[in-house]
Structure formats: C-alpha cells, structure tokens
C-alpha cells in the first residue's frame, strides 16, 4: 500500500501555519524541531515540515529518560498540541506533564501514551470519544471517573498511580476492555478488585 499523499497547502493553511508557529512557546518550538528535524534549537521550521506535522496521524515525544528517546529535555505541558487535528496516536511520555485538559482540543485521538509523567487528574480525557488505548501508568492519578463514557477502550494501563477506587469503569466497558491493568496501585486493595471483577465482569490485571 502506498503512503497517503498529503495535499498541497492552501494559501489559508500557509497563513495559519505561520501564526500557529509564532504562538508556540520556545520549549515547544524546540520539541518540534527535535522530533521532526533532529535539531535542538528554536529556529523557524520550514513550512513544508509544518504542513507535514499538521497532517501526521502519529506523533511521538519521548523524554531523555525514556526508552528510545527522541528529545533532549522534558516538556511540562501539552499546549503545543493545540491545532493538530489529524493526530490519532499521541505519545508524550517520560516528561513532567501534570495537566491533560489541553487534550479536549484533540477529540480524534484513538491511542494515548502519557505514562511516566506527573499527571494528577485525567480531566480532559473525557472528551476523547474515540479513545481505544490509554497508557497512563506511573503518574499521580487518583480517579478514573473521567473515563466513564469512554466505552471504546480496549486497553487501559493505570497501574502505579494513587487510585483507591475503580469507580468510572462500568459494565458498559466490559464488551471492549480486555486489557485492564490496574494493579499495583496505592490504596487499591485485592478485595476491592475481586468485588469489581465479580460485579462489572472485567478482569483486574497486574502489570
């Protein structure tokens, strides 16, 4: 199968790209340059590369302590992702990100990898109605309630957080959620998992 051809940018798109780039923080300019061009600076990115970036279905930002890193520093926020309407697979792991609310701007995401950050809440993820995979292990998350309506999930890694209750995962998830890794978790007891399995019908797996 031949790769999908990216359409030639319109005059309106070119104007938008220039404004989009000018509003990015220096950290995000450096991040995109490292990921797209393998150069560690904040210089202006060629317009054709920005066009390609805005049509990419998958983006990967792995911090320097992660496996196969493609960045030399850690990001602290997700603000640079606003406007990237084509990305369906997003990897932002081994960073210092604490807030996911910016993801509300990207409802098309199907696979999200935000493990090994400083995330305290899944607020924002509830807007990802197409989400099928979520890897949010190794954070500081204390609630799964934002996932309550995300019934297309088939894979969820939320182990090694501060979760003490599985509220938010319901019987409506049972048909799809075959890979639910919620143990170990601070405060989540074995008897609570057993009761959940018997009531909801989803196996609590240990990673």
Confidence check: pLDDT of 103 > 80: yes
pLDDT band at 1 (very low <50, low <70, confident <90, very high): very low
Tens digit of pLDDT for each residue in 26-72? 999 999 999 999 999 999 999 999 999 999 999 999 999 999 999 99
What average pLDDT does range 80-89 have in this prediction? 96
Identify the pLDDT of residue 7: 87
What average pLDDT does range 128-133 have in this prediction? 98
What average pLDDT does range 4-19 have in this prediction? 91
Measured distance CA(96)–CA(104) in Å, rounded: 19
Question: For residue 28, which of 92, 108, 119, 85 has the smallest C-alpha distance?
Answer: 92
Hey, what domains does the chain have and what are their CATH numbers?
90-206 (3.80.10.10)
Identify the pLDDT of residue 4: 64
For residues 102 and 77, is the Cβ–Cβ distance under 8 A? yes
Crossing angle of the two packed helices 47-54 and 26-37, in degrees rounded to 10: 90
Tens digit of pLDDT for each residue in 150-172? 999 999 999 999 999 999 999 99
Identify the pLDDT of residue 5: 80
Measured distance CA(14)–CA(58) in Å, rounded: 21
Identify the pLDDT of residue 186: 84
Helix ranges restricted to H, 38-186: 47-54
């Amino acid at each position: 199968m031949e790769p999908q051809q990216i359409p030639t940018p319109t005059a309106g798109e070119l104007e938008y790209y220039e404004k989009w780039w000018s509003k990015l923080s220096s950290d995000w300019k450096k991040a995109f340059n490292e990921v797209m061009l393998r150069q560690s600076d904040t210089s202006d990115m060629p317009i054709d590369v920005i066009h390609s970036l805005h049509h990419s279905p998958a983006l990967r930002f792995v911090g320097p302590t992660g496996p196969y890193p493609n960045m030399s520093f850690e990001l602290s926020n997700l603000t640079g992702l606003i406007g990237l309407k084509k990305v369906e697979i997003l990897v932002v792991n081994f960073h210092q990100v604490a807030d996911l609310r910016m993801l509300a701007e990207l409802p098309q995401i199907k696979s999200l990898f935000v493990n090994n950050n400083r995330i305290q809440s899944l607020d924002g993820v509830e807007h990802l109605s197409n989400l099928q995979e979520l890897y949010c292990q190794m954070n500081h998350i204390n609630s799964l309630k934002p996932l309550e309506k995300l019934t297309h999930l088939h894979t969820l890694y939320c182990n090694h957080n501060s979760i003490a209750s599985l509220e938010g995962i319901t019987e409506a998830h049972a048909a799809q959620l075959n890979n639910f890794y919620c143990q170990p978790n601070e405060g989540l007891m074995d008897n609570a998992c057993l009761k959940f399995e018997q009531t909801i019908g989803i196996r609590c797996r240990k990673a």
